Amino acid sequence: MPRSFVVLVGVLLRQIRLVFPSGKIVLHLNNQAYMFLLLAAAFQVIHQSTQPIDCPEKKWATAGVPYDEPGGPPRRYLVLSNGPEIIADWSMPDTVDHVNLYWGKIPFDGQDLRLRIYMDHLIDPKSKLDSLDIRFCMGIRDGDGSQISVARCVSTFAVTPENEPRQYIDPGQKLPLAHLSQKWQTTLPSGSTVLVPNDTDPGDVAGIGMTLKQHPNNLQYGNLIAELDLHADHALKGRSLIVRTVARKPGGSLGTSHDPSCALPGAGERGWWPQADVYVRSDPHDPILIDPSAQQPLTAYMRIGDNGGVDWAMFNKYDNQKRPVMNNADDIYGTKNSGLWGVNVLYRVYLRGNVDSTAAVKLSIACALKDWPVAHVLSGPFFETDTPWTNYATGKLNVTAPGYLNRRSATDYDVVELGKISNLGDKATFVEYFVDTAGSSMLPTYLIFQPQKK
């Protein structure tokens, strides 16, 4: 079977929206106007669909971690500080000048520890607080005095524009673009030596943080994503890294890592997980059959970031009575990560054509929830000979500009066409995409498969 390839298609649309990082430009075209656009270039084509998604749902089969595979990126832990999401007077009373929003204990047995940190907080519009400084702090516990240095530290901050009703569009575009393309706002200067102190120190040494302002008439979120690489002189069993996100008032202290108290224990979404990059795959033994002769306009759809899905289950644990349970014994304040905040996912779908002919299929994504726009960044397609994880780790992904999708009704929703895959034979092959929101959007999203007639 010849290798599948993507045919970049020309589109005829009454209205085409070109989505750029800074916003949208709307071009009104007449019925005879043609515009040929490269779907993997620096912008995306978003158009409205009036066709109901009336086709079978295909389930994802497995999820895993790429660092267990050849060419995969090194293991990166995820630290989430998303609760209390809204910082109010009752979570930070007049009697204190700071409070831990999250506190966690991460094993640091080897010589290297890599983290991705995600923060999402705002000040209650009714609060007496004018501003807060949110800092990421860390300290070593049970060490032996060996030197532990910050080998790499990068971050990107996004604040929702004031009076913006779609709170997660801006961070849902900006944050995944940073970590998928490896292009960050701030980086640790080359040649800098930053040491990690022990846990009796405040530990604000990496420079990761953001300032929140109170806006009485608007829920204005501050969102931050960062990556932090630590290196120790030698491996040591039993050593731990204490991590905290601390909210402090102007001029306030940060406390130390010895103070494990946490605002509103059990509330909000927060914790740490031993993976930040994951993959999701459909069943290679049960590929989606693309049959252009079939009567239905759509073959199948799959949900991305679905509540209860195999990727979702890696960050959300429940007992047999469907009650949330602790992530692990070292994460006493950890809860869950239902939005896959800060997670990077590569989706692989297995497809095949008819036995007696070749087939083609058009791939698209669409928003699944009414009135909750989904912001996203895309990279792909990737095939069997490609190395997406290697390209990701080395900052060489071809990443499209950010866009967002809205869903107004079952027959009125936005669609991004990812491309047309041709020459599908009767043996299963796969295509992969990064469809990344950094969790900064309302999930799930639909991945739609539409057969194409010759």
| Burial track 100-117 (b if 16+ CB lie within 10 A, e otherwise) | bbbbbbbebeeeebbbbb
Single pTM value for the model? 0.86
- Distance, in Å, from the CA atom of 156 to the CA atom of 142, rounded to the nearest integer, reads 31
Backbone torsions φ then ψ of 393, nearest 5 degrees: -65, -30
251-283: string of b/e by CB count within 10 Å (b at 16+)? Answer: ebebbbbeeeebbbeeebbbbbbebbbbbbbbe
pLDDT of residue 166: 61
268 in Cβ contact with 123 (< 8 Å)? no
420 CA to centre of own chain: 25
Q: Which residue in this structure is represented by tokens 């008439």?
A: 217
Per-residue pLDDT of the chain (454 residues; tens, 9 = 90+): 333 333 322 222 222 233 323 333 222 222 222 222 223 333 456 777 877 888 889 999 999 999 988 778 899 999 999 887 888 888 888 889 999 999 999 999 999 999 999 998 888 888 888 899 999 999 999 888 889 999 999 999 887 766 565 666 778 788 888 888 888 998 888 778 899 999 999 999 999 999 998 877 767 788 899 999 999 998 888 999 999 999 999 999 999 888 777 777 656 789 999 999 999 999 999 999 988 777 777 889 898 887 778 888 889 887 777 776 776 778 888 888 888 888 889 999 999 987 766 788 989 888 887 777 777 788 999 999 999 999 998 889 988 877 778 888 888 888 888 888 888 888 899 999 998 766 555 567 888 888 887 6
Strands 15-20 vs 240-248: parallel, antiparallel or unpaired: unpaired
CA distance 245 to 226: 13
Bridge partner residues of 432 (DSSP): 348, 382
Phi-psi region of 340 (alpha: psi -120 to 50; beta: other; left: phi over 0): left
Here the tokens at position 232 are 């120790």
**pLDDT value of position 441:** 55
Sequence-ordered list of residues with C-beta below 8 angstroms from that of 257, at least 6 positions apart, any chain = 103, 137, 138, 139, 141, 199, 200, 201, 203, 242, 244
Residue 1 CB neighbour total at 10 angstroms: 13
User: Looking at residue 432, what is its pLDDT?
Assistant: 94
The 3-class SS string of 276-323 reads: CEEEEECCCCCCEECCCCCCCCCCEEEEECCCCCCCHHHCCCECCCCC
